[in-house]
Structure 1
Amino acid sequence: MIRNIIFDVGKVLVSYEPDAYMQRLGISKEKQKKINEAMFQNKLWDTSDQGLGTPDEFLQKFIAGAPELADEITKIHKTVGNTVELFPYAMEWILDLKARGYHVYILSNYSENMLDQTKDKLKFLPLMDGVVFSYKIKKIKPDPEIYEYLCDEYWLEPEESVFIDDRPVNIKGAETCGIHGIVFRSYEQAKKELDEFLKEF
């Protein structure tokens, strides 16, 4: 029997669009590419999600990757919450699952800086039965330890739990720990797969 539905946040319950935000700021394609390499697509981004440093320390490291764009990187870092918006369906989806008796949880790779700037947008957080953000426990998906932490912290049985994430590698990490997984490609697709899965179990 399935009792627990676990959600990723970015690109599942909220949008995450760094390029669109940089475009709104009037940053050229050439500069966007350099900023992505120094920041959003840099391995340091994962390290910041893992909480292995302070937001200010990461800002300096991002700038070091493209010193000539220090002003742009600083502005983006201080307003990075503008890359995220709550999807219109998110609250309804979670409220529906709770009304049907399921427990709902968050398991997300998320940095301190990003959470500080977006927590007001994550209106679903008060509805959750448990929340794990990677930076707080210094572990990131798909490391098995982050899934094990969630299960231990909230007394979840892996086989009674379903995890929804947009990255197949993170779903594989969950399945390694015995948690069922659904790869999120769209709301309609994921909701349909989840509903069919819940009927089956």
Structure 2
Amino acid sequence: MSSDKAKAEIRHIVFDIGKVLIHYDPNLPFSRIIPDDAERSWFFANVCTHDWNLEQDRGRDWVEAEELLIAKHPDHVESIRAFRKHWTEMVPHAYVESVSIMEGLIAQGHDVTLLTNFASDTFKEAIKLFPFLTLPRGVTVSGDARVIKPDLAIYQLHAETFRLTPSATLFIDDSMANVAGARAAGWHAIHFTDPQTLKSDLAYYGL
């Protein structure tokens, strides 16, 4: 971080959700559904891939997503449908320390919002599982916006929706690509690795 960033007046703090505030791991249910490690690795590399799942974050309907894969991989119907069916098992707990940091910032009167790559329907489930997601002033969900990080458009949309001044905005995300996207939008950005480092990074910005 450069010294000019340390002097920045941060008025808006934007949190990512997955792997920053809540844990996410598709292997949790699939270690039971496909017990063999090699077979499970193949399934995630060739069937329910990261890129396939990302299209649901971009707004694609789950039924359409499943049918696309079933047409290509008819021998894996049950496993394909299991991805959405057992989604809640993939998000087993919150990161208590990270949530505490966010809640503390809100309690201190800071303007906090959320910007997340999340399918629209699973986000609604996440709110029921983790009510603290309703504490910030608002959220931009990629599945509703139909654009995903690190596309510049989603940062611009978030800033416009919540009237954020980019140069006074600080973004927190576990993905370096998403951090780079925020910086390209004129925001300050922190790469999240763990809560203790986040505390230090926030202190650097005077928060």
TM-score normalized by structure 2? 0.88
C-alpha contact 1:142 1:172 (8 A) present in aligned 2: yes
Shift of 1:44: 2.1
CA RMSD of the aligned region, Å? 1.7
Q: Which residue of 1 aligns with 2:78?
A: 71
Shift of 1:132: 0.3
From the superposition, tell whether residues 71 and 190 of structure 1 become closer, same or farther in structure 2 (CA, over 3 Å). Answer: same
Aligned residues: 197
CA distance in 1, matches of 2:57, 2:154: 12
CA distance in 2, matches of 1:160, 1:7: 14
CA distance in 2, matches of 1:181, 1:67: 43
Amino acid at match of 1:66: H
Shift of 1:39: 1.2
Q: Match of 2:206, SS?
A: helix
- 1:57 correspondence with 2:64: yes
C-alpha contact 1:2 1:161 (8 A) present in aligned 2: yes
Q: Match of 1:14, SS?
A: coil
* Runs of 5+ unmatched residues, structure 2: 1-8
In the TM superposition, what are the counterparts of 1:36-185 in structure 2 within 5 Å?
Answer: 36-37=44-45, 38-41=47-50, 43-51=51-59, 53-84=60-91, 85-185=93-193
Shift of 1:9: 0.7
- 1:31 correspondence with 2:39: yes
* Runs of 5+ unmatched residues, structure 1: none
Shift of 1:26: 5.3
- 1:186 correspondence with 2:186: no
C-alpha contact 1:14 1:87 (8 A) present in aligned 2: yes
Shift of 1:173: 0.6
Shift of 1:111: 0.9
- Percent of residue pairs bearing the same amino acid type: 27
Q: Match of 2:131, SS?
A: coil
Shift of 1:65: 4.7
CA distance in 2, matches of 1:39, 1:107: 24
Q: Match of 2:48, SS?
A: helix
> Which ranges of 4 or more aligned residues in structure 1 deviate by more than 6 Å?
none
